[in-house]
Amino acid sequence: MSGQTAETAETAKAGRIRGGVHTPQRHDSGHKHVAGAAAYVDDLPEPQGLLHLCLGLSTAAHARLHRVNLEAVAAAEGVELVLTAADVPGVNDISPTHRHDEPILAEGTVHYAGQPIFVVAARTRDAARRAARLAEIDYDPLPAVLSYEDAKASGALVTEPMTLKRGDVEAALAKAPRRLSGQMALGGQEHFYLESQIALAIPGEDDEVTVICSTQHPTEIQTMVAGALGVPANAVTTQVRRMGGAFGGKETQGNLFAVVAALVAKKTGRAAKIRPDRDDDMVITGKRHDFLIDYDVGFDDDGRIRAVDMTYAARCGWSADLSGPVTDRTLFHADNCYYFPDVRLASLPLKTNTCSHTAFRGFGGPQGMIGGERIIEEIAYALGKDPLDIRKANLYGPGRDITPYHQQVEDNIAPQVIEKLEKDCDYQQRRGEIRAFNKTSPVLKRGIALTPVKFGISFTLTAYNQAGALVHIYRDGSVHLNHGGTEMGQGLYTKVAQVVAEAFQVDIDKVKITATSTGKVPNTSATAASSGSDINGMAALAACTAIKARLVDFAAEHWEVPKEQIEFLPGRVRVGNQEILFPELIEAAYMGRVSLSSTGFYKTPKIHWDRKAGRGRPFYYYSYGAAATEVIVDTLTGEYRILRTDILHDVGASLNPALDIGQIEGGFVQGAGWLTTEELWWDDKGRLRTHAPSTYKIPACGDRPRIFNVALVEDSPNREETIFRSKAVGEPPLMLAISVLHALSDAVASVADHRLCPRLDAPATPERILMTIERLREEAAALEGRRA
């Protein structure tokens, strides 16, 4: 008996497989991560004659290139090649949209400080970096648009805005018993993936090139490289085994690096690699969009919202990139869990002379929710009520279940999630204790908030909601799996392997996970929109189902039994009255000339979207969750700590509870960083000054909640036919961190006895906390003076 067969016999004897769905399994590379054995692009053996690349960047935010002298660069020690836009044989463009507004290398004009102008290739990375600094570039300055005020005045947009509308918002606002308006500033966020952008291009025969890179979108890399080289897509193969983090920052931002590596590789016939240092990476690449949110809300004395009018203005940067769909999704999530009877939501994607902002975990949804939650908070303070009571009063429910984009909310479990978390975390009792503490504590103030999340799952561009997979079974019963999804640490490869193990009823260690490759699965969608497991898992299951159907047909004919009497069991297959080990069935099928390989394909059903009309069903389903967070603030310094967070999150019937809880914990901490410590700052010349960990502060271990309780919603499978009734988990947990911002706001409000809405903007850095405290005290004193 072979080793494979013996192990399968043990599985059959145990009566269950190891690593099927709905079980906690470790990340397939987890042990390699902690041991430093996981191979990332920069860990791969370097090909002989490898060239290292460095980009020459603009120092001006907006200017014409008067003179570009690269003679000293080309003459520098170790330099083999210098390329400019004139050297691109194909199309000098890496824009992911139809606008073609993002050249690989600048032509004539630069639009932000950090825009690539040339690329230098040298024998060592150090030589390339030193040579890039020798360029002599003269600029003819042009007016640089940096602020919201300047951007609005210029009227320039990077893409078409969108408006969602239902009812007569002007009339409803005018008739509302109460009305208030305001503005909120919301900062952006650097992705700060641990592995920087990187690409290794290896030239092949004729027009062929292979690009090994860190990207969420292998097909887009393939497309961009082919366009730049002027070759068909079939000449380019993109490979991705794993990324050291991405968070949306490697959906489009990797295009530049892959393309310049491929250009040098084909020009020289030598492999070429580019890995920018952290400073250059942060200066060049786009970030989460920052917003200025204007709101006008009408409501009644019970806190019920009557009408909402909101405009979300975003500083999008110099090109469209993904700003259109990002700002669209912002509007889709402005309602969060709340029903707006009459509503108008508008986006304003402003063009500025900064890096072009891009996808980031949540894809505009978090910014939309922040605006909606500010409205809830404003109403609560205006009425002197607990914000949680206002939240519950405005939840979607029967007869109140149509979103601003006219999709019906059919799977609403937000009320139950909130109710359970409120009880489980002792919210009401703790809120009373916190109020009592604050009355006797003149300096340290505590705060608490419970906020919900409703997040729509699907790409809003309907065409992206598709996936492919490739599955082989070898003669010994082992399985080879490949699909279009990419692994960035989230555990997608593990989850899809669990699906395949479950389908064939084999142990997960029999399923070989292989690197994503456009040469195996074509026309892949980006691993984004929290859809990775949903679409790639279903595609893999389709491939398995096709192979199983062939095996059933073969077994029925070979052993002369009805198909109904054939059943896949752990490690074996029941064929009539006998049981055959899985490897033995596979060997018999091979000898019977049965194909043991299949592709699989899946497209998400039911979704449709008409952007011009502002109506449709852009989301297949919603994921829900809620978080309650308690903080403590030092009112003398503005410093604070997160004391406790309780989370209850909906993942349907979890494919892998261990990975899902890890995603929830990580998403929450990343969201908390965005809303507290992570502050991006450009100077008056348009230069990013927070471009390293010394000036840009992501959360550290000490920033996590001191008490951190995370639970999954139980007995709540997805109502839609998703992969084994699970739900997405990548993006929704980030928005649970909104509870941190509102807990800080609650603590700050105590200095004015909760009579005034703090209107705390984000990121709520200690400096901003302190300034808000001082402003509230002044406003409270003025209020007392008027009353006197």
On the CB side of 332, CA atoms within 13 Å amount to 29
Q: Do the bridges between strand 51-57 and strand 272-274 make them parallel or antiparallel, or are there none, so unpaired?
A: parallel
Burial 450-477 (b: 16+ CB within 10 A, else e): bbbbbbbbbbbbbebbbbbbbbbbeeeb
The token pair at 153 is 């005045």
Which position has the token pair 């060239």? 51
What lies within 8 Å, CB to CB, of 53 at 6+ separation is: 119, 120, 121, 122, 128, 260, 261, 264, 272, 273, 274
79 beta partners: 122
C-beta of residue 579 within 8 angstroms of C-beta of residue 559: no
| Peptide bond before residue 583 is cis, with ω within 30 degrees of 0 | no
The token pair at 105 is 């290398």
Distances (CA, A) of 242 to 24, 201, 490, 513: 21, 16, 10, 11
**Residue 655 to residue 652: CA distance in whole angstroms:** 9
Phi, then psi, of 712 in degrees rounded to 5: -95, 145
**Residue 262 to residue 254: CA distance in whole angstroms:** 12
**Residue 322 to residue 281: CA distance in whole angstroms:** 18
Of 680, 644, 652, 628, the C-alpha closest to 530 is 652
Listing DSSP states for 519-543 in one string gives TTS-SPPPS-TT-HHHHHHHHHHHH
Helix (H, G, I), strand (E, B), or coil: what is residue 369? helix
Helix (H, G, I), strand (E, B), or coil: what is residue 627? strand
Of 310, 333, 39, 47, the C-alpha closest to 183 is 310
Catalytic residue among 190, 373, 731, 779: 731
CA 512, 515, 520, 526 dihedral sign is positive
**Residue 436 to residue 430: CA distance in whole angstroms:** 10
**Residue 245 to residue 769: CA distance in whole angstroms:** 30
**Residue 548 to residue 550: CA distance in whole angstroms:** 5
C-beta of residue 363 within 8 angstroms of C-beta of residue 529: yes
**Residue 151 to residue 62: CA distance in whole angstroms:** 14
147 beta partners: none
The token pair at 595 is 């194909």
CA 365, 371, 372, 373 dihedral sign is positive
Give ∠ CA 369-425-678 in degrees, rounded to 5. Answer: 40
C-beta of residue 394 within 8 angstroms of C-beta of residue 297: no
Q: Do the bridges between strand 116-122 and strand 51-57 make them parallel or antiparallel, or are there none, so unpaired?
A: antiparallel
Active site residue 731: yes
Distances (CA, A) of 663 to 330, 620, 667, 707, 757: 22, 21, 6, 17, 33
Catalytic residue ranges: 731
